[in-house]
Structure 1
Amino acid sequence: MPMPKIPLMDYIGRPLLTCLFLALLWLQWRFPLRRQHFRVLHRLIRNFVLSIPGFAVVRFAMLPIPIAIAMWTESRHIGLLNWLGVTGWIAVIATFLLMDYAYWWWHWANHMIPLFWRFHNVHHTDLDLDVSTAAR
């Protein structure tokens, strides 16, 4: 099965997230809360190198798989939202909340399952927490 196109993420989400990242980066540079251990450029390079595998997993697995499942369930008129008959903005909000709740459980599992923690731990070991830490 070919990878589904994700126009919302590819053409709107990515530029929007880039602008948000740059705005937050500027704010933390302009109004630092504490002295940093490492220079900004060093931190950014390190955090982005550490984030490359995570970005690849998200782009090639964690985005296409739920989208493919959603398309499959919608074409067969199955699934919770179809069963409840939820449509429009209520469906969008319900989907966002359910996906966020599922992500919370995934994050909890990353802390509780030793194998997952080995990969997730890099996110918690940054000496200089900043906007780029979230990507590691």
Structure 2
Amino acid sequence: MFEHTVGAPVVAAVAVRAAAAVPGVVRVEPGLVGLVASMVRAARHRVTGLDPAPIEGARVELDRVADGHTVRVEVDVVISGQDQAAAVGRAVQRAVAGAVTEATGLTVAEVGVSIIDVVWDLDRP
């Protein structure tokens, strides 16, 4: 029997891609904690020559439970001022939970969404 392990960076990459695809999300962007982690990760990848999938703006915590693992995901997004923040946040939660479960088979215990900025498009009515 083979056992496979899905690492936190893989889950974060799936979460970032799913969140970025939600209507109303302008971009996924790291908050202050994410910026520090991003700089460390970028330096490590420059040394190794890797070009990894973007994970900036997502943090992942894997928890071992009796029947496997569950995952908690935090995502930082910038949204459009043309959309309702609560609705976009809920849509991000659903999209991330669904994508992570589909891509990894992990049970998603929680998806936290932080709206770190709102972009107002003044060219639109």
**TM bracket, shorter-chain basis:** under 0.3
Find the structure with the greater CA-based Rg. Answer: 1
Alignment TM-score, normalising by the size of structure 1: 0.24
TM-score (norm 2): 0.26
- Structure number with the higher helix fraction is 1
Structure having the higher strand fraction is 2
Q: Which has the higher contact order (CA 8 A, sep 6+)?
A: 1
